[in-house]
């Protein structure tokens, strides 16, 4: 794919010529100064008598309108301006303010009626009358009711008047720039904003609107700066506070919260601020709270399409189909082309991992508004998430062609371009992408483990997922993040979208910090649980099952009872089951997420142990049918929330209650002290006791590794093996310990055990040469030649420096499996490098049938 | 006359083939080494450079069979410009066209205004100075290992016929402390680096082992590689472990001091000569691998290797247990 740099076209050149004229006439601009220093209530009190006289200038009327609206006096604004309009029918400014106030409470038809006479009588071509403003307002109301074509005609008309020189200055330019924006002429709008801001640097409205444009075009930094410019002129301006709150929500939640509170302190009825709050609550799956907030908005504007769309969303997410449809009908009844509703639904479906539904809703959004470029982005990204690459790419291309500012689109397309560096491999159940540079080294292990987890979990859950499953591994973590979210900076290791798994490859993480095998297993478990429930599984149960399945795959995999978890449990920080999902979707602190993973996995362990695995399967079936956690627990386990919490707490207590952390620390400290003093017997005594006291402690200064050292020093290999064997049953990252244990097992003649341990090591550090060498050697000795072939081929792919020896061993293994052709090829490569390599020469003679000469 | 690029390459190949085929019949060659230790500048560097220097000398003498007197070590204050010149002069008195000179640079390098300097006590010397000193020694072959930062800047200056130049970095702008030499010493100390299993470590084998280890180090540490070791062989283009031209000289020169196998048994002598010739033919075949189909290459290679293997058996049978 090629993407051209954005260049202005011919029409834009015309605009720039006009801009130059405007620029030269900047001194004639309105020089409006926003009052700002007083409160809106004070301002309203000051301005109301002037406006009520009927002689107030248009800007005074507008200021009063904003003073009432921005302090939340929607009803007052509407009633007073309607009265004033009746008293002063010839005042366009008052009529306009009345129409705006009427629109604000959702009476769009009356607003349009009120605007008509103003437009008819006003000369919209010259001066600073309200005709341009009224036209713009009419276009906006027409959009509110879905009459987009008529609306666009008005915006085009405004733009033409500007291009023809009839609108050259004053506050009307703000309406021109909004018209450009509405017609997707973002660059021109941005340029004109710059001119207007320079000509009228004290007009907070300009900076507010400019901030809105920049925010919509993903330029968060400059948008915040623009909002701050607006607040410097009018510190109360609630829209600017809200703009900042929105933009900082993800990166600076504290400041975002403060900005939102300020906005609501100024305007307690601020519709968009409340809808922002509601969106946040929907994001954290607090649908009842969101509904309450939305109801308060509807009390102000009962026909707010945005508010009704959010209500439709909460009901959809609750599986309340009839209410969902009722609200959808209500929205479309007011605004038949309100594509934003489907966009919101699509976004929220992503939030609850219903990617296929997100695709459906994004398609609906585009059907209603083929210019909804964000919907193309959302459609494209989610098509990729469900494995529909070709259509996803096409959608993203459309998004980019029309909205090249969208960073999610740009990042994802750039990533797709880089997929040329990936090889595509197909197995029975998977379509796999591995980076070309890693493919040879990883392919055999990745394909084997994928098919193993597929067989294991499809059998266990008696469920065949829709496939083939796409599996992608990225050596650059930021590529993984972009593939997942469209943005870099994601902290996770892997993600499952149900039919697509994306994860870091081993080289994306520092050695010994990542077990790609357990991550793969975890993510495939999500494939099962997402698909088996039609993506209706709550997050806690999905994550809990994934960790629970990790533990059953290999020794040491899956979270164990680390010290942080133990202390949290002892401090009673496990969440009640009713709130466990909150630990994932709205954690109180960063540590709560990992604690919630652990707790969720223990809940699954508990259910399995106390009620049988079938209970887990039954719960999955109920979630598919739309039941919630409370219903599932009650129907399957016959337990209410409180009963479950009591039973689970008791079970956890039985597993952890006996661990005395202080006593354990003392044993550790004394044991290591004894080791330092050279008192090996005492070391063994104390550290063995430490292991018994808290066996799952495998972090720094754990007792196992020191104990093993002592046993090795004492020549007690079997005890060293036993202690390290127990250690790796709780730890999944200790590559060095795997190799040490394998070495001890080889020494003890237990090659089978060594092979098992070395296979575990490869899930931690598959790119290290030593592990493959040791494993290859043990496999050859054990006459497991096919597996040995794999190890030596991998060593060659990893550019091992001892190529001649490696090719020789590969040839040996190949010859032993009967692969004479492969063996010949390999032994030639060995002897090509090392012609006088005696053992290889002998093998060559055997392969060539000259062994007995 | 200006030779076309292909013709020049062919000429180089023919020259090298001749060298390979003739090499076995030359008289025993000596190897001499000069280890230069620059000023360390900090206790940490002093410890590291001392360790590198001591280990290098130990490997040359204890592992590779250098006579202690053939290894000259100049470090820190003993390594002023005059001392270095004197050392080269002294070595030049002892070596001849059949001998190999090894020069090791251990310390800091600097690169400024396009010029590399090896930092020593007193006035530093440039790459051109060292190139002249190496030439003046008059050894038949020279191997220069420069482990300093910025060492890549000296490579073009030192490169030339009958020289193998190894540097820790690709250019003068790679100024960070280097890791290359740690792995180079590891290569000299392990049989894993003995790629061709002839129980000798060639310059190429050590370079390849160390370079791959450096690459792996930076990859595993998830750090941007701040050094890219380079090798120039016989005046050819510098490169890494996948050079465009076969590094024949670097493959041919071992760190191990030559030992001459002498025998009174004419049959055994004939077999040894046959083996030498077969090895030379295999080497020659490898050089022209790209000029023939892979199957044809493998067929001819296999014939030679089988013949070599059978000859090896006969030699072992003749030598007895």
Which has the closest alpha carbon to A696: A605, A560, A557? A560
What is the residue-wise DSSP string for A175-200? HHHHHHHHTT-HHHHHHHHHHHHHH-
Give the burial class of A795: count Cβ atoms within 10 A of its Cβ; 0-12 exposed, 13-18 middle, 19 or more buried.
buried
In angstroms, the separation between the Cα of residue B245 and the nearest Cα of chain A is: 16
Q: Which two tokens stand for residue A421?
A: 């560096």
Q: Which of A825, A837, A845 sits opposite B197 (nearest CB)?
A: A837
In angstroms, the separation between the Cα of residue B180 and the nearest Cα of chain A is: 15
Q: Given pLDDT bands bounded at 50, 70 and 90, which one contains residue B260?
A: low
Q: Given pLDDT bands bounded at 50, 70 and 90, which one contains residue A100?
A: very high
Among A509, A801, A802, pick the best mutation site for testing chain B contact (most B Cβ within 10 A). A801
Q: Which residues of chain A have a CB within 8 Å of the CB of B241?
A: 799
Per-residue pLDDT at B19 exceeds 70? no
Give the burial class of A678: count Cβ atoms within 10 A of its Cβ; 0-12 exposed, 13-18 middle, 19 or more buried.
exposed
Q: Which residues of chain A have a CB within 8 Å of the CB of B278?
A: 835
Task: Give pLDDT tens digits for A354-373.
Answer: 999 999 999 999 999 999 99
With beta carbons less than 8 A apart as the criterion, state whether B31 and B68 touch.
no
Could you give the 3-state DSSP secondary structure of residue A433? strand
Q: How far is CA A548 from CA A457, A540, A663, A732, in A?
A: 12, 12, 30, 15
Give the burial class of A425: count Cβ atoms within 10 A of its Cβ; 0-12 exposed, 13-18 middle, 19 or more buried.
middle
Kindly identify which residue of chain B lies nearest to residue A849, measuring between CA atoms.
B306
In angstroms, the separation between the Cα of residue B62 and the nearest Cα of chain A is: 23
Q: Which residues of chain B have a CB within 8 Å of the CB of A841?
A: 305, 308-309, 312-313
Which has the closest alpha carbon to A19: A191, A227, A176, A181? A191
Pairing state between β B31-37 and B100-106: parallel
With beta carbons less than 8 A apart as the criterion, state whether B252 and B19 touch.
yes
As a 3-state breakdown, chain B gives helix, strand, coil percent values, each rounded to 5, of 50, 15, 35
CB count within 10 Å of CB B294 equals: 10
Q: How far is CA A844 from CA A393, A417, A776, A825, in A?
A: 52, 46, 20, 10
Per-residue pLDDT at A4 exceeds 80? no
Angle between helices A735-747 and A769-781 (to 10 degrees): 30
Per-residue pLDDT at B181 exceeds 90? yes
CA end-to-end span of chain A: 62
Q: Which two tokens stand for residue A478?
A: 């930021």
CA-CA distance, A817 to B122, in Å (whole number)? 66
CA-CA distance, B102 to B108, in Å (whole number)? 19
Per-residue pLDDT at B13 exceeds 80? no
Q: How far is CA B3 from CA A758, B15, B238, B243, in A?
A: 56, 15, 21, 22
Q: Which residues of chain B have a CB within 8 Å of the CB of A838?
A: 197, 312
Mean pLDDT of B28-48: 87
CB count within 10 Å of CB A650 equals: 11
**More confident position, B181 or A485:** B181
pLDDT of residue A419: 83
Q: Is B209 in the A-facing interface, judged by CB distances under 8 Å?
A: yes
pLDDT of residue B182: 95
pLDDT of residue A36: 45
pLDDT of residue A411: 84
CB pairs under 8 A between A and B: 91
CA-CA distance, B316 to A124, in Å (whole number)? 108
Chain A residues interacting with chain B (CB cutoff of 8 angstroms): 507, 509-511, 767-769, 799, 801-805, 824-825, 828, 831-838, 840-842, 844-845, 848, 850, 853
The ipTM assigned to this model is 0.72
pLDDT of residue A725: 94
Listed as own residue / partner, the contacts of A257-262 with beta carbons closer than 8 Å and 24 or more positions apart are A262/A238
In angstroms, the separation between the Cα of residue B137 and the nearest Cα of chain A is: 33
Per-residue pLDDT at B196 exceeds 90? no
Task: Give pLDDT tens digits for A266-323.
Answer: 999 999 999 999 998 998 888 999 999 999 999 999 999 999 999 999 999 988 999 9
In angstroms, the separation between the Cα of residue B195 and the nearest Cα of chain A is: 5
Q: Which two tokens stand for residue B196?
A: 């061709």
Averaged confidence pLDDT in chain B:
85
Angle between helices B294-319 and B266-287 (to 10 degrees): 160
Q: Given pLDDT bands bounded at 50, 70 and 90, which one contains residue B132?
A: very high
Q: Is B89 in the A-facing interface, judged by CB distances under 8 Å?
A: no
Angle at A610 between CA A604 and CA A616, to 5 degrees: 40
Task: Give pLDDT tens digits for A148-186.
Answer: 999 999 999 999 988 888 877 777 888 999 999 999 888
CB count within 10 Å of CB A645 equals: 18
Q: How far is CA A171 from CA A32, A246, A466, A525, in A?
A: 8, 27, 58, 60
With beta carbons less than 8 A apart as the criterion, state whether A547 and A493 touch.
no
pLDDT of residue B321: 61
pLDDT of residue B3: 37
Question: Would the CB atoms of A801 and B310 count as touching at under 8 Å?
Answer: no
Among B196, B215, B313, pick the best mutation site for testing chain A contact (most A Cβ within 10 A). B196
Residue A791, beta-bridge partner list: none
pLDDT of residue A442: 92
Kindly identify which residue of chain B lies nearest to residue A829, measuring between CA atoms.
B298
Per-residue pLDDT at A20 exceeds 50? no
Q: Which residues of chain A have a CB within 8 Å of the CB of B187?
A: 801
Could you give the 3-state DSSP secondary structure of residue A467? coil
Per-residue pLDDT at B9 exceeds 90? no
pLDDT of residue A1: 24
Averaged confidence pLDDT in chain A:
89
The torsion angle over the Cα atoms of residues A71, A76, A80 and A83, rounded to 10 degrees, is 150
Q: How far is CA A213 from CA A184, A217, A553, B124, in A?
A: 11, 6, 51, 62
Task: Give pLDDT tens digits for A101-140.
Answer: 999 999 999 999 999 888 876 555 444 478 889 999 999 9
Total H helices, total E strands in chain A: 44, 5
Kindly identify which residue of chain A lies nearest to residue B279, measuring between CA atoms.
A835
């Amino acid at each position: 794919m090629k993407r051209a740099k954005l260049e202005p076209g011919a029409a834009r050149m015309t605009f720039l010529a006009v801009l130059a004229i405007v620029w030269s006439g900047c001194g004639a601009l309105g020089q409006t100064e926003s009052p700002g220093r007083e409160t809106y209530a004070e301002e309203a009190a000051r301005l109301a008598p002037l406006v009520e006289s009927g002689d107030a200038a248009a800007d005074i009327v507008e200021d009063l309108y904003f003073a009432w609206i921005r302090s939340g006096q929607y009803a007052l604004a509407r009633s007073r301006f309607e009265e004033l309009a009746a008293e002063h029918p010839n005042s366009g400014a008052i009529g306009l303010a009345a129409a705006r106030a009427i629109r604000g409470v959702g009476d769009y038809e009356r607003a349009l009626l009120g605007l008509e006479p103003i437009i008819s009588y006003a000369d919209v071509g010259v001066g600073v009358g309200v005709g341009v403003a009224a036209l713009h307002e009419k276009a906006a109301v027409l959009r509110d009711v879905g009459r987009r074509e008529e609306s666009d005609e008005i915006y085009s008309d405004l733009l033409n008047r500007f291009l023809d020189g009839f609108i050259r200055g004053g506050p009307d330019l703000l309406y021109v720039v909004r018209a450009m924006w509405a017609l997707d002429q973002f660059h021109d709008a941005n340029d004109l904003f710059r001119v207007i801001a320079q000509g009228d640097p004290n007009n907070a409205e300009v900076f507010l609107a400019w901030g809105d444009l920049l925010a919509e075009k993903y330029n968060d930094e400059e948008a915040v700066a623009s909002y701050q410019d607006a607040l410097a002129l009018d510190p109360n301006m609630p829209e600017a506070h809200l703009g900042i709150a929105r933009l900082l929500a993800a990166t600076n939640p504290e400041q975002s919260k403060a900005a939102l509170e300020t906005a609501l302190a100024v305007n307690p009825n601020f519709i968009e601020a409340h809808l922002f709050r509601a969106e946040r609550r929907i994001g954290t799956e607090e649908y009842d709270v969101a509904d309450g907030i939305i109801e308060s908005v509807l009390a102000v504007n009962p026909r707010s399409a945005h508010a009704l769309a959010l209500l439709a969303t909460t009901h959809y997410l609750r599986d309340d189909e009839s209410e969902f449809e009722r609200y959808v009908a209500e929205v479309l009844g007011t605004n038949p082309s309100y594509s934003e509703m489907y966009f919101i639904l699509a976004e929220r479906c992503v939030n609850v991992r219903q990617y296929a539904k997100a695709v459906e809703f994004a398609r609906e959004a585009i059907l209603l508004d083929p210019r909804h470029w964000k919907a193309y982005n959302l459609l494209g990204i989610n098509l990729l998430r469900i494995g529909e690459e070709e259509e996803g790419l096409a959608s993203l291309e459309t998004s980019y062609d029309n909205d090249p500012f969208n960073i999610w689109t740009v990042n994802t397309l750039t990533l797709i371009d880089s997929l040329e560096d990936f090889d595509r491999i197909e197995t029975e159940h998977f379509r796999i992408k591995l980076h070309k540079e890693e493919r040879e080294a990883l392919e055999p292990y990745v394909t084997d483990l994928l098919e193993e987890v597929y067989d294991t979990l499809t059998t266990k859950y008696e469920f065949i997922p829709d496939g083939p499953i796409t599996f992608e591994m990225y050596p650059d973590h930021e590529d993984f993040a972009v593939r997942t979210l469209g943005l870099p900076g994601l902290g996770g290791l892997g993600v499952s979208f149900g039919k697509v798994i994306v994860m870091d490859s081993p080289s994306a993480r520092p050695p010994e910090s990542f077990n790609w095998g357990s991550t793969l297993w975890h993510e495939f478990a999500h494939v099962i649980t997402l698909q088996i429930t039609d993506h209706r599984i709550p997050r806690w149960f999905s994550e809990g099952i994934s960790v629970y399945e990790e533990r059953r795959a290999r020794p040491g995999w899956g979270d164990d009872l680390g010290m942080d978890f133990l202390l949290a449990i002892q401090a009673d920080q496990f969440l009640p089951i009713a709130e466990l999902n909150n630990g994932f979707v709205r954690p109180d602190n960063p540590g709560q997420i990992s604690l919630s993973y652990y707790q969720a996995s223990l809940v699954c362990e508990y259910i399995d142990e106390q009620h049988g695995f079938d209970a887990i399967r039954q719960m999955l079936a109920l979630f598919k049918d739309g039941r919630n956690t409370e219903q599932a627990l009650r129907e399957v386990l016959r337990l209410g929330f409180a009963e479950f919490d009591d039973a689970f707490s008791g079970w956890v207590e039985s597993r952890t209650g006996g661990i005395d952390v202080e006593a354990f620390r003392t044993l550790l400290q004394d044991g290591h002290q004894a080791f330092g003093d050279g008192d090996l017997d005492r070391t063994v005594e104390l550290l063995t006791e430490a292991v018994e006291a808290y066996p799952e402690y495998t972090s720094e200064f754990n007792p196992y590794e020191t104990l093993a050292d002592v046993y090795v020093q004492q020549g007690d290999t079997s005890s060293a093996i036993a202690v390290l064997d127990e250690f790796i049953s709780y730890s999944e990252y200790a590559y060095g310990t795997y190799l040490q244990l394998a070495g001890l097992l080889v020494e003890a003649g237990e090659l089978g055990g060594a092979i098992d341990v070395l296979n575990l090591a490869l899930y931690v550090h598959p790119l290290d040469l030593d592990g493959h060498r040791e494993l290859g050697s043990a496999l050859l000795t054990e006459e497991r030649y096919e597996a040995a072939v794999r190890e030596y081929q991998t060593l060659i792919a990893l550019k091992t420096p001892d190529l001649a020896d490696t090719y020789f061993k590969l040839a040996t293994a190949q010859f032993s499996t009967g692969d004479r052709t492969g063996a010949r090829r390999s032994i030639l490569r060995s002897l090509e490098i090392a012609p006088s390599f005696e053992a290889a020469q002998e093998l060559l003679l055997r392969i060539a049938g000259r062994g007995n000469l | 006359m200006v030779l076309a690029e292909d013709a020049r390459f062919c000429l180089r190949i023919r020259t090298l083939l001749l060298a390979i085929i003739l090499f076995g019949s030359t008289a025993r060659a000596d190897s001499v080494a000069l280890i230069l230790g620059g000023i360390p500048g900090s206790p940490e560097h002093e410890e590291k450079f001392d360790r590198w220097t001591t280990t290098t000398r130990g490997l040359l003498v204890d592992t590779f069979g250098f006579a202690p007197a053939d290894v000259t070590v100049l470090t820190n204050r003993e390594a002023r410009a005059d001392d270095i010149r004197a050392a080269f002069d002294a070595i030049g008195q002892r070596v001849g066209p059949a001998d190999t000179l090894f020069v090791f640079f251990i310390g800091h390098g600097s690169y400024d205004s396009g010029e590399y300097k090896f930092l020593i006590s007193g006035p530093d010397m440039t790459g051109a100075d060292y190139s002249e000193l190496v030439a003046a020694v008059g050894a038949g072959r020279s191997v220069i290992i420069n482990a300093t930062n910025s060492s890549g800047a000296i490579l073009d200056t030192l490169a030339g016929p009958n020289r193998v130049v190894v540097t820790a970095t690709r250019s003068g702008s790679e100024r960070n402390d280097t890791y290359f030499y740690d792995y180079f010493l590891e290569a000299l100390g392990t049989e894993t680096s003995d790629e061709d299993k002839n129980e000798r470590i060639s310059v190429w084998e050590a370079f390849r082992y160390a370079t791959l280890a450096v690459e792996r180090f930076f990859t595993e540490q998830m750090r941007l590689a701040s050094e890219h070791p380079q090798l120039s062989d016989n005046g050819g283009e510098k490169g890494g472990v996948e050079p465009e031209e076969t590094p024949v000289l670097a493959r041919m020169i071992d760190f191990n001091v030559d030992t001459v196998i002498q025998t009174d048994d004419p049959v055994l002598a004939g077999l040894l000569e046959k083996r030498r010739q077969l090895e030379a033919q295999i080497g020659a075949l490898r050089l022209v691998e790209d000029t023939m189909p892979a199957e044809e290459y493998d067929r001819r290679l296999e014939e030679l290797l089988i013949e070599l293997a059978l000859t090896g058996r006969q030699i072992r049978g003749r030598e007895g247990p």
